[in-house]
Amino acid sequence: MRTAQDALRVVEAQYKVGLVARDKVREAEAALAEAQASLYGTRCQYAAVLATWRYLTGRPVAMF
């Protein structure tokens, strides 16, 4: 996700000085949103796997 954030910062700076069109900024924003969604999904999967493992091994399943 940091890469997408960095890329957005670079493209925004380029846009401000007229090196790229606004659509490139929108593309970078979309890439960042996709990275954020992917990270969220991965965290949810991790939580589900951890809860399953805890349940199957008799450990308490903590709620987040």
Q: Residue 64: its pLDDT value, please?
A: 56
62 inside domain: no
Alpha-carbon distance 61 to 64, whole Å? 10
CB 3 within 8 A of CB 38: no
pLDDT at residue 30 tops 60: yes
What pLDDT does 53 receive? 94
In a domain, 34, yes or no: yes
Domain tally for the chain? 1
Mean pLDDT of 14-39: 97
**Percentage of the residues of the chain whose pLDDT score is greater than 90:** 89
- The amino acid sitting at 52 is T
User: Which residue range is the domain that position 28 belongs to?
Assistant: 1-57
pTM recorded for the entire structure: 0.79
State the angle between helix axes of 2-16 and 22-56 in degrees (0 to 180), rounded to the nearest 10.
Answer: 170
Whether 20 is covered by a domain: the verdict is yes
Distance CA 30, CA 24 (A): 10
